[in-house]
Structure 1
Amino acid sequence: MTTAPPVLTVADFATESIAVDQLAQAGYVIVPNFLAREHCQQLYDYALNLPAQGWQQAGIGRADNYTTNSAVRQDKIRWLRADYHYENAYLRMMDQLRLELNRELFMGLFDYECHLAHYPPGAFYRKHLDAFKGRSNRILTTVFYLNPDWQEQDGGQLVIYGERGEVLETVLPEAGKLVVFLSDVFVHEVLPGARDRFSITGWYRLNTSIGGVVDPTR
């Protein structure tokens, strides 16, 4: 018997004034327990049981500039698509959040793209920006963690840096935690972990499409 896909709904993020205020003022926010534990577990199990051919080696850059470089980035990814039940459930939830953010913060977010990320033990992603000012339509980055029972000694933290290179946050990748930050402001990196680490990374974007094609393309 097949388990029914989850019905995912936004927790209290968009209506929690402290979280929205922090995002507006600081440019980033960390939301523990964004999604109910049972739904996190369902998404984790889904990711864990994907076949090897369902993943691709993650790369750097976009379109013609896309390349893989294991000295910079070592995770494997799977772009989420609406025709897979669990993936569609997550995409619908994050679109609901997009509407809430537009309503609360007038950001004009147009759409959302995201991928599952699998970091095997020891894998990392060196310091980088997700967007460069004036050169991308990515506005907000989201990182949602799926890892149950994650402990400090397991590593794999997300480190967010300030404009002078100072550490602003070191985020333990615990199941249900959502991190949201401005894509073109915060340099960040993923530290090596001791266990397989799963997350969903995505970007809210502005509409800079030409002829119906969203730019930049994946």
Structure 2
Amino acid sequence: MPATPHLDDIVNQLSDDGYCIIPNFLQAPFAARLHQYANAIPSQFWSTAAVGRAQQQTINTMVRNDRIRWLTDEHEPESAYLAIMDELRIWLNRQLFLGLFDYECHFAHYPSGAFYKKHLDAFKGRSNRRLTTVMYLNENWQDEHGGQLVIYGERGQVLKQVKPERGTLVVFLSDKFVHEVLPSFRDRLSITGWFRLNASISGIVDPPR
């Protein structure tokens, strides 16, 4: 059995539905520590989030207006979070044979009024992003604060509307589910990441961030 709780729940829900929502995936003290850590990162280390990947990236604040900072193994508690997600990667490969090669993620800060309109994280055959993950770090989030993640079905119907509550993990197939972040009316912090397939050629990871 894996050391981290809920991994079997993730496997079962992904197998059935292609997405899952796991409250309290992170223990409250560690989620609070991540929130405190992210809030303490100086503003010059954050960048305006772009739309698209690699050479096609552009800044379009009509589509999204959050700010991001990529996580690395160089700092605690970033490395601790990455270790948890690597355990999840290994377990998903073992149980579902997904061939997940690596994981990348960033903090996402939505100040009051920020949003991210409907989009798809990957297009079939055009990206190595296989699974999207979102971890929420916000305490005492109320419905009136907005900022919900909306996941849509193939016919455009709303499948789930997720409140960004501390410790909740969302995982879904990157090339299947259109989703959006509704406007937030208070500061909103999360960690967004992607498990990726190995589409490398001559040692160059494809695509880069």
For Structure 1 versus Structure 2, the TM-score category normalised by the shorter chain is: over 0.9
In structure 2, what is the equivalent of residue 162 of structure 1? 153
1:124 to 104, 115, 122: 115
Name 1:184's counterpart in structure 2: 175
Structure 2 CA distance for aligned equivalents of residues 150 and 99 of structure 1: 32
**Normalization by structure 2: what TM-score?**
0.97
Mapped pair 1:15 → 2:5: no
What CA RMSD, in Å, does the superposition of the two structures yield over aligned residues? 1.1
Counterpart residue number, 2:207: 216
Q: Give the partner amino acid of 2:6.
A: F
Structure-1 separation of matches of 2:18 and 2:182: 22
In 2, distance between residues paired with 1:210 and 1:116?
A: 29
Q: Using the alignment, how far apart are the partners of 1:26 and 1:148 within structure 2?
A: 28
Aligned length: 208
1:39 aligned partner: 30
SS of equivalent residue, structure 1 residue 85: coil
Post-superposition offset of 1:179: 0.2
Mapped pair 1:111 → 2:118: no
Q: Is residue 26 of structure 1 aligned with residue 17 of structure 2?
A: yes
Select the residue among 89, 100, 103 that pairs with 1:98. 89
Runs of 4+ in 1 over 3 A off after TM superposition: none
Secondary structure of 1:103's counterpart equals helix
Deviation, structure 1 residue 11: 3.5
3-state SS of 2:86 partner: helix
Aligned residues of 1:60 and 1:67 also touching (Cα < 8 A): yes
Question: TM-score if structure 1 supplies the norm length?
Answer: 0.93
Alignment of 1:80 with 2:71, yes or no, is yes
What is the aligned partner in structure 1 of residue 193 from structure 2?
Answer: 202
Aligned 8 A contact 1:10 1:93 in 2: no
- CA distance in 1 between counterparts of 2:22 and 2:202 reads 37
**Post-superposition offset of 1:63:** 1.3
In structure 1, the gaps of 5 or more residues are: 1-8
Residue 141 of structure 1 pairs with residue 132 of structure 2: yes
1:51–1:98 distance in 2 versus 1, CA, 3 Å: same
> Which secondary structure does the structure 2 equivalent of 1:114 belong to?
strand
CA contact (8 A) 1:10 1:97 kept: no
Do the aligned residues in 2 keep the contact of 1:11 with 1:35 (CA within 8 Å)?
no
Counterpart in 2 of 1:68?
Answer: 59
Structure 2 residues without counterparts, runs of 5 or longer: none
Check the 8 A contact 2:113/2:185 in 1, yes or no.
Answer: yes
How far did 1:103 drift?
Answer: 1.1
Is contact 2:4-2:84 (8 Å) kept? no
